Structure 1
């Protein structure tokens, strides 16, 4: 097994928060929502069922760990979790904190509006808080 390669679009649109047991935890650079992505560090994997049973269990654990921390940190009404992969094929799991009145509530966020990048200070503050919550 060679070194892990992150899809260039995931690298461009997100920043590494930390590495968990299986996944990179990355912050999407769109401050309209607290939005993170888990990327299993496995090459050539595009579907959940492509992972080994052990990796599937670890991904579920890490998804729940991050989702719970994100909900506690943000006070969100709802946490959305999804693994779509229609544009970026590399397996990745979106975890998004949603609140009534956010720009797309109650609809989905994908393809809606223009991303609003974080100010550097706000991005670093959020990363520090979420990493600390884990």
Structure 2
């Protein structure tokens, strides 16, 4: 992690901190319609994945793949959507969204489809416990 790393204010406002891997911070998007997680490499000034050094790119791929696999199993996903868009939030962040053929937005992307439905306090606690338990290498 870069010592001066700061999470973008929009991510701070829209997400719930889950924990940290070696390179990335893990966030839960505060939208209960989808199990939606975001990985943010904790390196200042990044906008694109290719801006990571080669070793960091490898660590990122391992963390992203591990996260996607664990989420797919935990939530019994029909499909994992993994994307780095960054049009509104320029800081590099990668969405990991569990999708179901029965979810509200299927088969379209989730962005801008419906207004977010925030989690309640009990739901947040349950989600965090479940995900932290599934992700053995996560620190919090």
Q: If the length of structure 2 is used for normalisation, what is the TM-score?
A: 0.93
Shift of residue 12, structure 1, vs aligned partner: 0.5
* Structure 1 segment 3-82 matched on structure 2, within 5 A: 3-82=4-83
Quote the Cα distance in structure 2 between the aligned partners of 1:133 and 1:36: 14
Post-superposition CA distance 1:16-59 (Å, at most 9, x none): 10110000000000000000000000010000011101111111
SS of the residue 2:59 aligns to: helix
Gaps of 5+ in 1: none
Give the aligned partner of residue 131 of structure 1. Answer: 132
Quote the Cα distance in structure 2 between the aligned partners of 1:69 and 1:13: 23
Shift of residue 2, structure 1, vs aligned partner: 3.7
Q: What's the Cα RMSD here?
A: 0.8
SS of the residue 1:36 aligns to: strand
Quote the Cα distance in structure 1 between the aligned partners of 2:98 and 2:9: 24
* Structure 1 segment 79-90 matched on structure 2, within 5 A: 79-90=80-91
Quote the Cα distance in structure 1 between the aligned partners of 2:89 and 2:65: 22
Quote the Cα distance in structure 2 between the aligned partners of 1:109 and 1:21: 28
Quote the Cα distance in structure 2 between the aligned partners of 1:99 and 1:7: 29
Q: If the length of structure 1 is used for normalisation, what is the TM-score?
A: 0.97
